[in-house]
Amino acid sequence: MNFQSLRRDVPLLIHVLGWGLLGFALLVYQPLNWDINIPTLFWVKQAIYFALLVVAFYLNSQLLVPRLLFRNRARWYVLALIATTVTVLLLLWAVDTWFNLPELMYRAFHPQAVGRKTRGAWNWIQPALLSTVMVLGISTSFASVRKWQDDARLRETLEQARVSSELSFLKAQINPHFFFNTLNNIYALTLIDVEAAREALHRLSRMMRYVLYETTNSTTMLSKEIAFVQDYIQLMQLRLTDKVTVQLEQPVPLKDVPVAPMLLLPFVENAFKHGVSALLPSRIYIGIHQQGSQLEMEVRNTIFPEKSPSLEIGNGIGLANTRRRLDLLYPDQYQLAVTEETPENEYVVRLTLKLS
């Protein structure tokens, strides 16, 4: 039996075990402790009573609770419970009368008694009433828990579908955004250095393979993600002047762990878009470090008055989408701090991410 079939059989096993224990406790254990010769018809009546409890249980859980209680028809539900309880008691009374059990049980308990005497009605109504109400209460609780579980599974399924759809949409936004900027850079490079443009196209094709084959999965390896970022940096350096200093620090040694693809690029892309000037000296620092299961990334770039520092200002979408992806993929497992301007006139992004 595999795990899935075992999960399907668990509810059935719970029902069988529950009814077995309840039947033994309520209908068998106590009569067996009586030090008397119990009439055979008593056991027949007990079997009928047990069957009535089973019918009442499933009538309530499968019909009354879903169609009345869960549809905000509480008054009709209470009336239906009262009617079910009264019906069970009336049927028991009819069985008692038909089998003449009151007299048989009295003589079993008082074999020396003379004359015809019977037990009082309250002697059997009280335990029957309590048992029936208890079974109906358990039935209502069982149906409510089952509905709560079904609703929870439905919410989880819908949330997974929503998150998957949203992540696909966000990645679809990030990828064209990146290639649009890169192709513009290569086009500008063809007017200056054809050989450098060819090298740039080769790097771009390697990066496109990463996007096409790695981003289809939910995760990729950290080493591949860092290599992708390194290719991007080298591609961007082909068009930079000597006034721009780019520094990349990588974890040494690298502990390869799964990470969401295309997660680090928007921070780097943001730095190159807003931290580079053709006239003024500028600096970009990208540091990626590991401490146990924690990944740390720091990106710094020089601020220029004529450029807005963040992709969240203006028409950029990369950094804003990355925030949303972090919320969806790593809830409560990351910290993203942005410093708009430091004393060194830099824009700083610090990401701390807990990876398994």
Domain final residue pick, 140, 156, 172: 156
Task: Give residue 207's domain range.
Answer: 192-354
Least confident of 136-150, 161-175, 197-211: 161-175
Assigned domain for 36 exists:
yes
Structural domain total, the chain: 2
Burial 270-293 (b: 16+ CB within 10 A, else e): bbbbbbbeeeeebbbbbebebeee
- The answer for residues whose C-beta is within 8 angstroms of residue 101's C-beta and 6 or more apart is 39, 41, 42, 45, 95
Assigned domain for 205 exists:
yes
Assigned domain for 229 exists:
yes
Pick 223 or 40 by higher pLDDT. Answer: 223
Looking at the structure, do residues 151 and 30 belong to the same domain, yes or no?
yes
Q: What percent of the chain shows pLDDT beyond 70?
A: 72
Q: Is 293 helix (H, G, I), strand (E, B) or coil?
A: coil
Mean pLDDT of 288-304: 92
Q: What is the pLDDT of residues 168-189, one digit of tens each?
A: 655 555 556 667 777 887 888 7
Looking at the structure, do residues 339 and 198 belong to the same domain, yes or no?
yes
Assigned domain for 168 exists:
no
Report how far residue 96's alpha carbon sits from residue 52's, in angstroms, rounded to the nearest whole number.
14
Domain final residue pick, 156, 177, 205: 156
Domain final residue pick, 104, 139, 156: 156
| ∠ Cα 174 304 341 (to 5°) | 80
pLDDT of residue 48: 83
pLDDT higher than threshold 80 for residue 269: yes
Looking at the structure, do residues 120 and 227 belong to the same domain, yes or no?
no
Looking at the structure, do residues 208 and 260 belong to the same domain, yes or no?
yes
Looking at the structure, do residues 91 and 240 belong to the same domain, yes or no?
no
pLDDT of residue 287: 96
pLDDT of residue 299: 95
Contact assessment for residue 31 and residue 42, using Cβ atoms and an 8 Å cutoff? yes
Give burial (CB, 10 Å; 0-12/13-18/19+) of 267.
buried
pLDDT higher than threshold 80 for residue 3: no
Looking at the structure, do residues 272 and 336 belong to the same domain, yes or no?
yes
C-alpha 226 chain-centroid distance? 30
Least confident of 143-147, 238-242, 246-250: 238-242
pLDDT higher than threshold 70 for residue 109: no
Q: Is 312 helix (H, G, I), strand (E, B) or coil?
A: coil
281: cis peptide before it, omega within 30°?
A: no
Contact assessment for residue 237 and residue 258, using Cβ atoms and an 8 Å cutoff? no
pLDDT of residue 36: 65
Assigned domain for 254 exists:
yes
pLDDT of residue 141: 84
Q: Which CATH number fits the domain that encloses residue 301?
A: 3.30.565.10
Q: Is 116 helix (H, G, I), strand (E, B) or coil?
A: coil
Looking at the structure, do residues 72 and 121 belong to the same domain, yes or no?
yes
Looking at the structure, do residues 28 and 122 belong to the same domain, yes or no?
yes
Looking at the structure, do residues 132 and 228 belong to the same domain, yes or no?
no
Assigned domain for 25 exists:
yes
Assigned domain for 183 exists:
no
Assigned domain for 172 exists:
no
Q: What is the pLDDT of residues 48-84, one digit of tens each?
A: 888 888 888 888 888 888 888 888 888 898 899 899 9
Least confident of 36-50, 176-190, 212-226, 306-320: 306-320
With bands split at pLDDT 50, 70 and 90, how would you rate the model's confidence at 160? low
pTM of the model: 0.53
Looking at the structure, do residues 202 and 142 belong to the same domain, yes or no?
no
Report how far residue 65's alpha carbon sits from residue 71's, in angstroms, rounded to the nearest whole number.
8
Of 302, 309, 294, 311, nearest in space to 351 by CA: 294
- The structure tokens listed for 7 are 């999960």
CB atoms inside a 10 Å sphere around CB 228? 22
- The single-letter DSSP state of residue 70 is G
Q: What is the pLDDT of residues 26-41, one digit of tens each?
A: 555 555 555 666 777 7
- The structure tokens listed for 235 are 């591609």
pLDDT of residue 79: 92
Q: What is the pLDDT of residues 322-336, one digit of tens each?
A: 788 888 888 889 999
Of 348, 258, 256, 353, nearest in space to 303 by CA: 348
Compute the radius of gyration of the chain from its Cα atoms.
37
C-alpha 50 chain-centroid distance? 40
DSSP string, 194-258: HHHHHHHHHHHHHHHHHHHHHTTSS-EEHHHHHHHHHHHHHHHHTT--TTEEEEEE--SS----E
- The structure tokens listed for 143 are 């149906």
Contact assessment for residue 261 and residue 216, using Cβ atoms and an 8 Å cutoff? no
Mean pLDDT score of the chain = 77
Looking at the structure, do residues 203 and 331 belong to the same domain, yes or no?
yes
Looking at the structure, do residues 208 and 320 belong to the same domain, yes or no?
yes
Half-sphere exposure in the Cβ direction for 94 (13 Å, CA): 8
- The structure tokens listed for 228 are 């992708």
Q: What percent of the chain shows pLDDT beyond 90?
A: 15
Least confident of 83-92, 107-116, 263-272, 319-328: 107-116
